[in-house]
């Protein structure tokens, strides 16, 4: 869970970091040319990326309660992908 939160935080802060880096490379003082519209759109871009990440990756297949995970393995020379076995198949 902490990994997901850190990824979301990084995605949200990425547009701000790019903007600050761009401003520092231009060698202007931050307070003189700070554009509120650019900050607003950077914040919105970060929020949209974070929400999109949660929606896309949150729709994964969930295992039923009590299911057992069988990791990927080889059977008779063939690859068998990992899967969840329902509780009654134990």
> Cβ(30)–Cβ(23) under 8 Å?
yes
67 or 74, higher pLDDT: 74
Domain boundaries of the chain, sorted by first residue = 1-59, 64-90
Q: Does residue 70 or residue 34 have the better pLDDT?
A: 70
Rounded CA separation 50/2 (Å): 15
Average pLDDT of the chain is 80
Percent of the chain with pLDDT over 70: 84
**pLDDT at position 66, please?**
84
In whole angstroms, give the CA distance from residue 76 to residue 84: 21
What average pLDDT does range 57-76 have in this prediction?
A: 83
User: Residue 75: pLDDT above 90?
Assistant: yes
Q: Which residues of 59-70 are buried (b: 16+ CB within 10 A; e: fewer)?
A: eeeeeeeebeee
Residue 27 has pLDDT above 90, yes or no: no
Kindly report the pTM of this predicted structure.
0.41
């Amino acid at each position: 869970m902490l990994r997901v939160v850190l990824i979301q935080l990084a995605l949200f802060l990425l547009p701000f970091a790019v903007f600050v880096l761009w401003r520092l490379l231009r060698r202007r003082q931050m307070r003189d040319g700070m554009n509120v519209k650019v900050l607003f759109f950077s914040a919105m871009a970060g929020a949209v990326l974070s929400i999109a990440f949660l929606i896309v990756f949150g729709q994964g297949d969930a295992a039923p309660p009590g299911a057992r995970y069988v990791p990927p393995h080889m059977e008779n020379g063939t690859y068998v992908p990992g899967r969840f076995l329902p509780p009654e198949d134990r």
